[in-house]
Amino acid sequence: MIDLRSDTITRPTPAMRRAMADADVGDDVLGDDPTVLALEARTAAILGHEAAVYMPSGTMTNQVAIRAWTEPGDEILLEASAHSYFYESGGPAALAGVMCHLIPGRRGLFTADQVRAVLRPANEHFPRTKLVCVENTHNRGGGAVWPVARIAAVEAVAREAGLRMHLDGARLWNAAVAAGVTEAEYARHFDSVSVCFSKGLGAPVGSALAGQAEFIARARRFRKMFGGGMRQAGIVAAGALYALDHHRDRLVEDHVNAERLAEGIADLPGADVDPATVETNIVVVGVRGTPATEVVARLKDRGVLVLARDASSIRAVTNLNVSADDIDEALRAFRQVLAA
Ligand SMILES: Cc1ncc(COP(=O)(O)O)c(C=O)c1O
């Protein structure tokens, strides 16, 4: 099977497994797991932030950040299809008790003017707006990359209004490679940054939340409260450290594969994809005439796994476990299914 459902499906490589097996461990809830401490320090350094905390998932890092920046009844600003709103099981309402004010974006990106337009005057009738969330790359936006300048413009409006900035950087690594900037150049515009090791980087488990030391101490409290304190977590953190050292530079291969996949599909009569919109490792394909679930089933019969995104579009995500040859083979299957 050629698995293009997500970049989360990757299995650890033999070398990564060895690093995990050999990891020094302690009790991370007691603060003495050396491998977790090393991963947190390295992540903070890459992002140019003071501190970081390791957690089981990107959902948890996002939801802990939202909880730590707000009080119940506050409001946060998010793009309308942001992962934290769309795919995190109602976490902002259930865990932080906040209201989500949604900003409709284009491919997941919004503008500084849109943020300005939803600001509320201080008035006891209104919820207090606290946080602007940005997702980079944007998952439902098809892996779209935020230009740094646009983030800086959003930040300027947020700062003027006294709002905090949170980055859902599950795929910040991909964004940095695609934009040709460092992760820190993005991260410096934010008060908190969530990054995932278990997506394009190919580690089996975990995400980190970075920010100032005082904020990270508060986040650790919510990590514990949400059940995210792990004990000998160095075993999995070692996979993440290995991924940081060995799998960041290769992300460009995933981007090239995604572009080639999109170009190959673009000419098929049953498909609708503009390769120019494929900036990273996510390819969203509109399907005509056949329900997306049926297209998914037919591709599966031909050895290719993808996900239905909605009734009329599917999503293919290139990843560490998919080679250039696999893309050729996947294209053969796409041709058979979407040529008609
Ligand atoms: C943009 C984005 N943020 C957060 C997450 C959540 O990560 P996790 O699956 O580790 O909870 C995902 C997962 O795909 C994602 O795409």
pLDDT digits (tens, 9 = 90+) for 45-89: 999 999 999 999 999 999 999 999 999 999 999 999 999 999 999
Ligand 1 atom at minimum distance from 6 CA: 14
Centre a 10 Å sphere on the Cβ of residue 182 and count the other Cβ atoms it contains: 13
Extract the tokens encoding 10. 């990757």
CA distance 140 to 313: 11
Residue nearest to atom 16 of ligand 1 (CA): 139
Q: What is the dihedral of CA 185, 190, 195, 200, to 10 degrees?
A: -40
Residue type (1 letter), 3? D
CA distance 67 to 73: 11
pLDDT value, residue 289: 87
CA distance 335 to 226: 46
Q: What's the Rg (C-alpha) of the chain?
A: 20
pTM of the model: 0.97
pLDDT value, residue 83: 98
Residue 273: CB within 6 Å of ligand 1? no
CA of 323 to the centre of ligand 1 (A): 23
CA of 339 to the centre of ligand 1 (A): 33
Centre a 10 Å sphere on the Cβ of residue 181 and count the other Cβ atoms it contains: 14
Residue 57: CB within 6 Å of ligand 1? yes
User: Of 8, 87, 197, 201, which is best to mutate to test ligand 1, by the most ligand atoms within 8 angstroms of its C-beta?
Assistant: 87
The 3-class SS string of the chain reads CEECCCCCCCCCCHHHHHHHHCCCCCCHHHCCCHHHHHHHHHHHHHHCCCEEEEECCHHHHHHHHHHHHCCCCCEEEEECCCHHHHCCCCHHHHHHCCEEEEECCECCECCHHHHHHCCCCCCCCCCCEEEEEEECCECCCCCECCCHHHHHHHHHHHHHCCCEEEEEECCHHHHHHHHCCCHHHHHCCCCEEEEECCCCCCCCCCEEEEECHHHHHHHHHHHHHCCCCCCCCHHHHHHHHHHHHHCCCCHHHHHHHHHHHHHHHHCCCCEECCHHHCCCCEEEEEECCCCHHHHHHHHHHCCEECEEEECCEEEEECCCCCCHHHHHHHHHHHHHHHCC
- Within 13 Å, how many C-alpha atoms sit on residue 284's CB side? 16
Ligand 1 atom at minimum distance from 196 CA: 10
Main-chain phi, psi angles of 290, to 5 degrees: -125, 135
Extract the tokens encoding 128. 């207090």
Residue 259: CB within 6 Å of ligand 1? no
Ligand 1 atom at minimum distance from 206 CA: 10
pLDDT value, residue 340: 65
Neighbouring residues of 104: CB distance < 8 A, sequence distance ≥ 6: 79, 80, 110, 114
User: Of 59, 78, 186, which is best to mutate to test ligand 1, by the most ligand atoms within 8 angstroms of its C-beta?
Assistant: 59
Ranges under pLDDT 50 in the chain: none
208, 55 Cβ separation under 8 angstroms: yes
